[in-house]
Chain A
């Protein structure tokens, strides 16, 4: 979202929110979750798990919108999302400083 001014109904908008949990030891590093996350929340780690695979780590804490796509596409049952309370959007995310041209 990149608006040039604060939307009038910003206090009414609620964005669903989820907490991602990763079961690192089950992961086999296929990167489906990282590729298909619509909010690009995940990134593959540089570290290895015990079996030698790169596992996903959470890049943008709090950006998850609880779409459950990573949970459904994961072939290893290694990632899941817990629903959290919906949040109001942060004004700093809506208007990014320096974008105004």
Chain B
């Protein structure tokens, strides 16, 4: 009996945590919130790692970077980043980010959110932000369903994929996100999967340093809902599928990059062009029309304001 109790009370074979060591990305992370809520083998954490790598490479001042996210699994991303970040209401990440970008032109605004938030309920906002060419970067993490609410079919669910609201398979036509972004006016459009970490980080660096509306779609594994409902295995099996069926085609026409269920995925940087962004265009247009009367707004930290000029 005493042997059993001694065995019961003796510590299990659990190693002690290495507390002295710090992850090199911890300066960008709210470590008190880690480990995060995302499922085991979910791809959103990998996208966040790539984003932090891109921030480090782009050498932007972290005080001048703001991250906005909407609702959903990937909406949590803003909460884990030690930057100025905001977790907005469902679908309204882009309107909030538009306000930030226009109100403070010094800020580099990034929206990290999911396909359900950005494309479904926020679909109108992404079209108009792209049309105006507002200076922001959108990272759309596409996992083909509404994962946080239980795996319902969304606007990106491929045809014949099973979802909880499509038990016999989805029959709607899915959105082709790079085509949507390009035709609305985005100046930088890329798509990668969660496996292409280095290329994704490079594209994110380019997008962060490019003034204007840039859109990056990242296809990420959803192991708990999408993979389980469609019997695709674990997140690791989906990563192997990305490895086998992703084709890199830079600069291809975005009309040809549809995704069918478990078919090939065309990835790459599809669009990279230069266009005057919203604030610059406003200043150019109004100074042409109004001449010296027009004083461009330079943000809350600048000394010159319209009032002083009038005095």
Interface band, chain A: 20 to 34
- Residues 39-50 of chain A, each 1 if its beta carbon lies under 8 Å from chain B, else 0: 000000001111
Question: Which of B13-36 touch A at CB < 8 Å?
Answer: 13-15, 17-18, 21, 23-26, 29, 34-36
> Provided the pairs A30-B40, A30-B41, A53-B40 are in contact, do residues A76 and B15 lie with their beta carbons within 8 angstroms?
no
- Indicate whether B166 reaches chain A with its CB closer than 8 angstroms: no
For B49, the chain A residues whose CB sits under 8 A away are 71-75, 77
Cross-interface CB contact of B21 among A23, A48, A51, A72, cutoff 8 Å: A23
> Provided the pairs A30-B235, A35-B239 are in contact, do residues A25 and B17 lie with their beta carbons within 8 angstroms?
yes
For B41, the chain A residues whose CB sits under 8 A away are 28, 30-32, 75
Cross-chain contact B15 with A47 (CB below 8 angstroms):
yes
- Indicate whether B201 reaches chain A with its CB closer than 8 angstroms: yes
Report how far A76 CA is from B38 CA in the complex, Å.
9
For A21, give the chain B residue with the smallest CB separation: B21
Cross-interface CB contact of B14 among A21, A28, A49, A78, cutoff 8 Å: A49
Extra pairs beyond A49-B14, A51-B35, A75-B41 (19, CB < 8 Å): A21-B21, A22-B18, A23-B21, A24-B17, A24-B18, A25-B17, A28-B39, A30-B235, A31-B41, A47-B14, A71-B49, A72-B53, A74-B46, A75-B44, A75-B48, A76-B36, A76-B45, A77-B34, A78-B35
Q: List 7 A-B contacts (CB under 8 A).
A: A28-B35, A30-B236, A32-B46, A48-B14, A72-B49, A73-B46, A74-B49
Residues in chain A within 8 A of chain B (CB atoms): 21-26, 28-32, 35-36, 47-51, 53, 69, 71-78, 80
Residues in chain B within 8 A of chain A (CB atoms): 13-15, 17-18, 21, 23-26, 29, 34-36, 38-46, 48-50, 53, 195, 197-198, 201, 234-236, 239-240
